[in-house]
Amino acid sequence: MRGESKAQRQPAFAPLKAVSKHLDPYTLTATKPWLAHCERNRHPVLIALCKLAPLLNTLPLRWGVTGSLGYEFATGERQLRPESDLDLVIDATAPICREQAAELIDLFGTASCRVDIQLDTPMGAIALAEWAGSSEQVLQKTDTGPRLTKTPWAGEKDEGVKPC
């Protein structure tokens, strides 16, 4: 749950039957809510999204908006601040090699704000920028907690799938 500031965020649990509507970032993005946003031509995050969305749509990857802007799109509650960044997620069910990750980073280099992209692998999320970098291991956020891994598409023993 979110409040007006980061300090007002609160974790919570709800029974599944109490959830009346579910919007994942990919479904949310398909409706292109940024096109109707009142600050579309003024806020750096929305300007960046308007510029990047057509580029992302040319890729064979599903993508979505997360973070404060995703929350705002889903709830209608104002969350954007002058210092906000653009948080995106890319569905990386299939492995993305490091070279492809670096090419994606280049796409976002001209954005009007900081862009933070997570790759959502079957084993957990990793930062696109970290995967595109030179570090041998990356931090992967999993359902059981964070782990360092060389192969984000493989299981806990880092065996199996080798990206590209």
Q: What is the pLDDT of residues 85-133, one digit of tens each?
A: 999 999 999 999 999 999 999 888 777 889 999 999 999 999 999 999 9
Answer yes or no: is pLDDT of 161 > 70. no
pLDDT at residue 63 in the model: 97
Position 72 scores a pLDDT of 93
Contacts (Cβ under 8 Å, ≥6 apart) of 22: none
User: In this predicted structure, what is the pLDDT of residue 122?
Assistant: 96
Closest CA to 115 of 81, 154, 151, 88: 88
Q: Is 135 exposed, middle or buried (0-12, 13-18, 19+ CB in 10 A)?
A: exposed
Other CB atoms closer than 10 Å to residue 89's CB: what's the count? 23
pLDDT of residue 11: 82
**Model pLDDT, residue 35:** 95
Four-residue CA torsion sign, 11, 17, 18, 23: positive
- Written as six digits, the tokens of 37 are 């946003």
> Is 106 a catalytic site residue?
no
Among residues 85, 91, 116, 158, which one is catalytic? 85
Confidence label for 164 from pLDDT (cuts 50, 70 and 90): low
pLDDT of residue 160: 45
Whether the model clears a pTM of 0.85, i.e. scores above it, the answer is yes
**pLDDT at res. 140:** 97
Active site residue 85: yes
Question: How many Cβ atoms are within 10 Å of 81's Cβ, its own excluded?
Answer: 13
pLDDT at residue 159, rounded to an integer:
47
User: Tens digits of per-residue pLDDT, 24-62?
Assistant: 999 999 999 999 999 999 999 999 999 999 999 999 999
